[in-house]
């Protein structure tokens, strides 16, 4: 097949940099445009310096007739981009912001919520995709097997910590090194913006909308999410029953794996993997979930969605090495 012509809009941030890194090595992709309003004419490799020697592409303003556009724009800006650019009806859109996650009907397009492990068939038939948020991905992957089996009977409790890249590239009071270093803090307690998409998608999967008590933490590291999730166990379910449930649910997934041993961030950083570890304790089932917030939580999942949209194997271009040390 001919290569997929890709445009990346707003590619100067962390997520855009990850998209370039992955797509430049994707065997079925040609990046034909990288648009930005702030760096017109600037070489991509001068913004993302890990790409020196990898590409001669420069940022510009033209889309150059792509087959798919990845929108790596600030939250609330993707709708403006769709309104202000002439995008052909055959061109697909994958939005990495939050504009279309809750309401995907916009400008004659219908954005499907792109959590691949919960909607693989729907995504493969879709035209446009709303990529999930990073916390939303880690938390949902932890509880999807329970939701699909009708085993969520009580509130879900989540404490999850994210690296500083989750706050974006623009520096702020709580993102710069002197604040983050040797420090942990709570933010958006019980009110994080990803809660709405988690509840909506779990309701779609299970038919019920669970109460989720979410404590997000800022971590003193650059990338990765570690989510600690628990809820009341179902009567009669053993630890082995739960582990078998998770292994069966993700048997067809090329990226989500259950581990019988404890897990850590370094096993997934720089990859599109999610690792899960399930334990039963005193009537509660606990699930640990780890992902890279910039890959499985953003750019990698977006490429996974693109592969599904274009009929490619789901893991094409996504065999990435974890940073174990």
The yes-or-no answer on residue 134 being catalytic is yes
7 SS3 class: strand
- Name the β-bridge partners of 185: 218
Catalytic residue among 72, 91, 116, 134: 134
> Rounded to whole angstroms, how far apart are CA atoms 68 and 128?
9
Pair 325, 271: CB distance under 8 Å: no
- Sequential DSSP letters for 77-112: -HHHHHHHS---TT-EEEE-SSTTSS--EETTEEEE
- Sequential DSSP letters for 8-41: EESTTSHHHHHHHHHHTT-TTEEEEEEE-SS-TT
Determine the straight-line distance between the first and last CA of the chain, rounded to whole angstroms.
38
Catalytic positions are 134
């Amino acid at each position: 097949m001919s290569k997929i012509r890709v445009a990346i809009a707003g590619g100067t941030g962390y997520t855009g940099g990850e998209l370039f890194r992955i797509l430049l090595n994707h065997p079925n992709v040609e990046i034909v445009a990288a648009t930005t309003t702030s760096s017109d004419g600037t070489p991509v490799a001068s913004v993302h310096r890990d790409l020196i020697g990898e590409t001669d592409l420069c940022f510009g303003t033209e889309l150059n007739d792509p087959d798919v556009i990845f929108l790596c724009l600030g939250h609330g800006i993707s709708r403006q981009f769709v309104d202000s650019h002439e995008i052909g009806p055959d061109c697909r859109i994958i939005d990495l912001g939050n504009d279309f996650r809750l309401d995907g009907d916009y400008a004659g397009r219908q954005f499907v919520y792109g959590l691949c492990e919960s909607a693989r068939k729907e995504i493969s038939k879709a035209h446009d995709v709303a990529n999930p948020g990073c916390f939303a991905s880690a938390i949902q992957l932890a509880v999807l097997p329970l939701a699909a089996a009708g085993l969520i009977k009580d509130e879900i409790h989540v404490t999850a910590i994210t690296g500083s890249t989750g706050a974006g590239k623009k520096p702020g009071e709580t993102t710069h090194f002197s604040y983050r270093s040797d420090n942990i803090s709570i933010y958006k307690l019980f009110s994080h913006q990803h809660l709405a998409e988690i509840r909506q998608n779990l309701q779609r999967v299970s038919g019920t909308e669970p109460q989720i008590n979410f404590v997000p933490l800022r971590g003193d590291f650059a990338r990765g999410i570690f989510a600690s999730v628990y809820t009341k166990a179902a009567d009669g379910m053993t630890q082995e029953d739960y582990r078998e449930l998770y292994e069966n649910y993700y048997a067809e997934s090329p990226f989500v794996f259950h581990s019988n041993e404890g897990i850590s961030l370094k096993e997934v950083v720089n990859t599109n993997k999610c690792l899960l570890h399930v334990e039963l304790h005193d009537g509660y089932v606990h699930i640990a979930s780890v992902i890279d917030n910039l890959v499985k939580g953003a750019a990698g999942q977006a490429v996974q969605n693109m592969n599904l949209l274009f009929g490619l194997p789901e893991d094409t271009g996504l065999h990435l090495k974890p940073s174990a040390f």
